Amino acid sequence: MIKPKISYINYGMGFTLSEHGKAIEIQLNKNLKKYPKLRKQVLAHEFLHWNSRGWFDDFKIDFYDLFNFKKGREQLSFCIKHPKSLLANSPVFFENGEFIPNWFMVGFWGLISITLITGGLLII
Ligand SMILES: [Zn+2]
């Protein structure tokens, strides 16, 4: 296995960048350096993506992570102190002059929208 290259950015939480379906780099929010415990958890999560075998694996990794409430609480307090990290929940990123879709969040927000719309229709 190749050792991941880790770089620091000033938004989001953590991302695993891939090229042609192969992970090439892990990006972490630079402010995580101040929170070693959370940084370790975010990195552990990105390592799972690093070793994932495709979008379904990635989806499962992110889905199960939604139920890691302890980490969720730490992430929330981090997000409040560093609002730019909330971009991790955005369905799209803007990087190097191009828009990169975040498919998990596209699905996540899509599901919420569908639930709200169909829920709204049921009330009507
Ligand atoms: Zn993830």
Instruction: Report the pLDDT value the prediction gives residue 115, as an integer from 0 to 100.
Output: 79
Q: What pTM value is reported for the model?
A: 0.72
- The pair of structure tokens assigned to 9 is 């950015």
- The pair of structure tokens assigned to 109 is 């927000």
Residue 111 belongs to a domain = no
Q: What residues make up the domain containing 84? A: 6-89
CB 52 within 8 A of CB 62: no
Neighbours of 114 (CB within 10 A): 10
Residue 53 belongs to a domain = yes
| Ligand 1 center from residue 45 Cα (angstroms) | 6
Residue 1 belongs to a domain = no
pLDDT-above-70 percentage for the chain: 89
Residue 116 belongs to a domain = no
| Ligand 1 center from residue 1 Cα (angstroms) | 20
Instruction: Report the pLDDT value the prediction gives residue 114, as an integer from 0 to 100.
Output: 81
Residue 46 belongs to a domain = yes
pLDDT at 95 over 80: no
CA-based nearest residue to 95, from 15, 32, 1, 6: 15
Q: Are strands 6-9 and 22-29 parallel, antiparallel or unpaired?
A: parallel
| Ligand 1 center from residue 115 Cα (angstroms) | 23
Residue 106 belongs to a domain = no
| Ligand 1 center from residue 118 Cα (angstroms) | 28
pLDDT band, residue 6 (cuts 50/70/90): very high
Q: How many domains does the chain have?
A: 1
pLDDT digits (tens, 9 = 90+) for 15-31: 888 888 788 899 999 99
Residue 84 belongs to a domain = yes
| Ligand 1 center from residue 122 Cα (angstroms) | 33
| Ligand 1 center from residue 121 Cα (angstroms) | 32
pLDDT digits (tens, 9 = 90+) for 36-74: 999 999 999 999 999 988 888 988 998 898 888 889 889
Residue 10 belongs to a domain = yes
The CA R_g of the chain, rounded to the nearest whole Å, is 16
pLDDT-above-90 percentage for the chain: 29
